[in-house]
Structure 1
Amino acid sequence: MQLDLSFILTALQSILPALPMTFLIAFVPLLLGLLIGIVVALVRLSDWKISKVILNVYVSFYRGTPVILHIFLIYFGMPLIAEEWFDISLNGWPIVIFVIIALTLNAGAFLSEIIRSGIMSITNHQIDAALSLGMTTFQMYRRIILPQAFVAAIPNLTNILIAFLHSSSIAFLVSVKEITGAANIIASSNLKYLESFIAVGIVYWVVTILIEVLANQIEKKLTAHLRQGVVQA
């Protein structure tokens, strides 16, 4: 068997139109999961014992089981629950909606741990100072704690983003045509599997590098004041 280098370019041209679907599956769950993660992290740091137990189980389950299981549970289970409990049919829903819901719940669990660790890295002195200035708890979290927690969590958030970009490839198992699914179709049609998957690997690699460069620039900009040190008069 000979490697057909020209077909790699042909495969790239066929794969790239599916890139927006990959971005949709990778980035939308992270944005929605970030909102879930913030709420879950704050509740788990609170004194609400029953809520903490429930959310601990949620986080433990989603961190302890594979993503493909979450997709199958939502894809097969959600329509059944909607029909049995609420007499609502979800038969007309696009498959990608179920994938996004599954990945959002997964992202919420992982991001809650990242945000929680970021919040716990804030010293009590800053919390006491904020409260002594008359800030409410909401103002303290919005202006003091959460901004610093997010800056501290940028490396972990970048890793999660890259992981979700790669995990989006699982969606082709439920017939969502993202770039891995497109590569699989091209490979099956032309019997050039190696060239097709080299092409999709190049796409993942380039996008991953761009994410790392962008995250690095954002981190440098947000932490510039920490590197300046104390300016002598």
Structure 2
Amino acid sequence: MTIDIPFIITCFFEIVTALPLTLVITVIPLIIGFGIGVVTALMRIYKVRFLHRIADFYVSFLRGTPVVLHVLIIYFALPLLIAKLSDQFGWGIDTASIPILVFVLTAFSLTAGAYMSEIIRSGILSVNQGQVEAAYAVGMSTRQALWRIVLPQAIGGILPNLCNLFIGFLHTSTFAFTVSQMELLGKANVVASVNLKFLEAFIAAALIYWGMTIIAERITAFLEKRVTAYNRGGIA
């Protein structure tokens, strides 16, 4: 068996056209998930009455079940829920007109929020409690202490984990193909099926994923340097 190198190059340029959608499926859920993660982590750390138990259940369930299951549940269940609410309140929403991408982003965002919650919670708890007490001593509120003292240090400490989560979701984006979203691996399958050269197409896809991973690692290293310098009061 021989590998068709020219076809790998051809596949590379055809498959890379799906990169924008792959990045959308990866980045947007992480941004939304970060917000969900911060709120959920704070609920759990400060034991907000009733809500912290819901947050515990949310994190446990989403982390304890496969991502592809989240995609399928949201894809099949959310339209039914929207249709029922639409009929009940007279919204007139046609669920068939809702893009599939909306359901994919919803599922991935909820999943990202659960994982972000644990990462952010660990980062917040890693900050020396003495600094928080010192912030209170000079008259800062809890919100000010979190924003100015705790979160900057916590984010600096969790950047490697955030990078790992980005890489994980970059790979997880392949599950979007189960509901017909043409991300990188889905595009590779389509390109390969035309010429039945699956190995070459998958090698091309692997190179793209690897390249994105290297870029993410370099950006994370740069941000770590900047955040560390900021936390120490210096200049990066």
The answer to whether the superposition gives a TM-score over 0.5 is yes
**Structure 1 residues 15-26: aligned runs within 5 Å:** 15-26=15-26
Q: Distance in 1 between matches of 2:229 and 2:44?
A: 31
Tell me, yes or no, if structure 1 residue 75 matches structure 2 residue 75: yes
| Counterpart amino acid of residue 106 in structure 1 | T
Tell me if the contact between 1:122 and 1:145 (Cα under 8 Å) persists in the aligned partners: yes
3-state secondary structure, aligned to 1:153: helix
Q: From 217, 220, 226, give the equivalent of 1:215.
A: 220
Kindly provide the CA deviation profile for residues 58-87 of structure 1, in whole angstroms up to 9, marking residues without a partner as x.
Answer: 000110011100000110000011112342
Q: From 78, 91, 96, give the equivalent of 1:91.
A: 96
The CA deviation at 1:212 is 0.5
| Corresponding residue number in structure 2 for 1:145 | 150
| Corresponding residue number in structure 2 for 1:27 | 27
The CA deviation at 1:217 is 1.5
The CA deviation at 1:226 is 7.4
| Corresponding residue number in structure 1 for 2:229 | 224
Tell me if the contact between 1:18 and 1:182 (Cα under 8 Å) persists in the aligned partners: yes
Corresponding residue pairs, total: 229
| Corresponding residue number in structure 1 for 2:177 | 172
Kindly provide the CA deviation profile for residues 124-155 of structure 1, in whole angstroms up to 9, marking residues without a partner as x.
Answer: 21111111111111111111111111111111
Please list every run of 5 or more consecutive structure 1 residues that lacks an aligned counterpart in the other structure.
none
| Counterpart amino acid of residue 34 in structure 1 | F
Tell me if the contact between 2:44 and 2:56 (Cα under 8 Å) persists in the aligned partners: yes
TM-score (norm 1): 0.94
Please list every run of 5 or more consecutive structure 2 residues that lacks an aligned counterpart in the other structure.
88-92
| Corresponding residue number in structure 1 for 2:136 | 131
| Counterpart amino acid of residue 33 in structure 1 | G
The CA deviation at 1:119 is 0.7
Identity of aligned residues (%): 47
Q: From 98, 108, 119, give the equivalent of 2:113.
A: 108
Q: Distance in 2 between matches of 1:132 and 1:228?
A: 21
Moved more, 137-146 or 43-52: 43-52
The CA deviation at 1:224 is 3.5
3-state secondary structure, aligned to 1:223: helix
| Counterpart amino acid of residue 26 in structure 1 | T
| Counterpart amino acid of residue 27 in structure 2 | F
Q: Distance in 1 between matches of 2:231 and 2:32?
A: 30
Q: Distance in 2 between matches of 1:216 and 1:120?
A: 23
Q: Distance in 1 between matches of 2:195 and 2:173?
A: 24
3-state secondary structure, aligned to 2:96: coil
Tell me if the contact between 1:79 and 1:89 (Cα under 8 Å) persists in the aligned partners: no
Deviation >6 Å, runs of 4+: 225-229
3-state secondary structure, aligned to 2:191: helix
Kindly provide the CA deviation profile for residues 111-134 of structure 1, in whole angstroms up to 9, marking residues without a partner as x.
Answer: 000100111111221111111111
The CA deviation at 1:3 is 1.3
| Counterpart amino acid of residue 132 in structure 1 | A
Report the CA distance shift for 1:227/1:126 in structure 2 as closer, same or farther (over 3 A). Answer: closer
TM-score (norm 2): 0.93
Q: From 193, 202, 209, give the equivalent of 1:204.
A: 209
**Structure 1 residues 35-54: aligned runs within 5 Å:** 35-54=35-54
Tell me if the contact between 2:18 and 2:184 (Cα under 8 Å) persists in the aligned partners: yes
Report the CA distance shift for 1:227/1:81 in structure 2 as closer, same or farther (over 3 A). Answer: closer
Moved more, 77-86 or 115-124: 77-86
